[in-house]
């Protein structure tokens, strides 16, 4: 029964946490893609030279926009823009992909394995969340995670389902490791200093602290992961990015080092509550199953 209880605990907590903070994840993805425009026919784009920067002659499919007032849209403005132009349902774009991709056991190795297995759903989620950034004629218009995975496999090959998988695994391991380490360390610090009693208040404080640390550590990897997964690859043409390092170098060169922290506010705004919901839900589920 212990194994079943562990499975239930490890499954319910991440699903509740992920679904409750999904709109913040959508805003994060949109912000991480600010400054980058997917353009298969970049040469024909009607962008003014003063506002564009071609990162490399070998990668004509990506146009990086130099930072400007129009490019720097904050999380609140991004959320309002999505709500007004696409409706409230758009805030949950890709939520069907969030659920299978979030079913990872709490633990460093389990987190990495879970992320690798859930990579197709993660790619689908990123693309579904970013679809409205593309011109109407280039949108993928996936109807669900199943439709997305099926079409990616047919149109781009099975390997496309694991695009950015190493980044997904690294991101999951960084988040899990930093969450667990900082969560336990914060709880010990709080108890040692007698600031709070052992209970819900202490768990919430430790969880939010763990979420902040995880956001700081993982955001650069998350930005690169989002861009690699979302890039438009045309058969017979060189992809915009050859690998994660290439994407990181081109992003930093075109947009500056802080581009790796695009979407940080919605990331920490999501990671904090997500971690709180995750650990608090886990504790409550454990209590409910304690007598079974």
Residue 105's Cβ-count burial label (10 Å; 0-12, 13-18, 19+) is: middle
Q: How far apart are CA 29 and CA 265, in angstroms?
A: 12
Give CA 243 to chain center in angstroms.
18
**Positions in the chain short of pLDDT 70:** 1-21, 37-72, 93-115, 291-292
**What tokens does 5 get?**
């209880």
CB 260 within 8 A of CB 223: yes
DSSP letters for 119-161: HHHHHHHHHHHHGGGS-GGG-----SHHHHHHHHHHHH-GGGG
Q: Which element (helix H / strand E) includes 22?
A: helix 22-32
Note the pLDDT of residue 290. Answer: 74
Note the pLDDT of residue 66. Answer: 54
Note the pLDDT of residue 61. Answer: 59
Query: Is residue 165 classed as helix, strand or coil in its secondary structure?
Result: helix
Tell the CATH topology of 1-32+71-291: Mitochondrial carrier fold (1.50.40)
Note the pLDDT of residue 222. Answer: 93
User: What is the maximal distance between C-alpha atoms in the chain?
Assistant: 68
Q: How far apart are CA 72 and CA 77, in angstroms?
A: 10
Residues 6+ apart with CB under 8 A from 185: none
Please choose, from the candidates 229, 227, 255, the residue with its C-alpha nearest in 3D space to the C-alpha of residue 32: 227
**What tokens does 171 get?**
């991101």
Q: How far apart are CA 288 and CA 292, in angstroms?
A: 8
Note the pLDDT of residue 264. Answer: 94
Give the global pTM.
0.63
CB 145 within 8 A of CB 100: yes
Residue 60's Cβ-count burial label (10 Å; 0-12, 13-18, 19+) is: middle
Note the pLDDT of residue 249. Answer: 95
Q: Which element (helix H / strand E) includes 26?
A: helix 22-32
Note the pLDDT of residue 4. Answer: 41
pLDDT digits (tens, 9 = 90+) for 14-41: 566 566 667 777 787 888 888 775 544 4
Note the pLDDT of residue 102. Answer: 45
Note the pLDDT of residue 13. Answer: 53
Q: How far apart are CA 169 and CA 165, in angstroms?
A: 6
Note the pLDDT of residue 52. Answer: 34
CB 130 within 8 A of CB 33: yes
Note the pLDDT of residue 261. Answer: 95
* CA quadruple 272, 275, 278, 279: dihedral sign: negative
Domain ranges within the chain, ordered by starting residue: 1-32+71-291
CB 113 within 8 A of CB 101: no
pLDDT digits (tens, 9 = 90+) for 240-283: 999 999 999 999 999 999 999 999 998 888 888 888 888 888 77
Segments in 231-263 forming alpha helices (H): 244-255
What order of strands is seen across the sheet that includes strand 62-65?
Answer: 36-38, 62-65, 52-54
């Amino acid at each position: 029964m212990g194994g079943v209880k562990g499975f239930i605990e490890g499954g319910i907590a991440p699903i509740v946490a992920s679904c409750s903070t999904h709109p913040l994840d959508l805003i994060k993805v949109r912000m991480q893609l600010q400054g980058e425009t997917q353009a298969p026919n970049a040469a024909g784009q009607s962008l003014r030279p003063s506002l564009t920067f071609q990162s490399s002659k070998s990668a004509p499919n990506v146009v990086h926009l130099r930072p400007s007032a129009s490019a720097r849209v904050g999380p609140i403005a991004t959320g309002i823009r999505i709500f007004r132009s696409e409706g409230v349902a758009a805030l949950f774009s890709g939520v069907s992909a969030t659920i299978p991709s979030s079913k990872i056991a709490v633990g460093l190795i389990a987190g990495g394995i879970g992320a690798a297995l859930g990579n197709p759903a993660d790619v689908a989620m990123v693309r579904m969340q970013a679809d409205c950034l593309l011109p109407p004629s280039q949108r993928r218009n996936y109807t669900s995670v199943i439709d997305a995975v099926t079409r990616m496999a047919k149109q781009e090959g099975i390997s496309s389902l694991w695009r950015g998988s190493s980044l997904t695994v690294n991101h999951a391991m960084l988040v899990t490791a930093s969450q667990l380490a900082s969560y336990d360390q914060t709880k010990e610090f709080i108890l040692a200093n007698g600031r709070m009693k052992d209970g819900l208040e202490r768990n919430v404080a430790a969880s939010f602290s763990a979420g902040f640390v995880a956001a700081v550590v993982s955001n650069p990897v998350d930005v690169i992961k989002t861009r690699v997964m979302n890039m438009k690859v045309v058969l017979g043409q060189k992809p915009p990015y050859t690998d994660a390092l290439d994407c990181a170098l081109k992003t930093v060169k075109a947009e500056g080092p802080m581009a790796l922290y695009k979407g940080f506010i919605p990331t920490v705004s999501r990671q904090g509550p997500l971690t709180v919901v995750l650990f608090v839900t886990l504790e409550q589920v454990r209590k409910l199953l304690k007598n079974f």
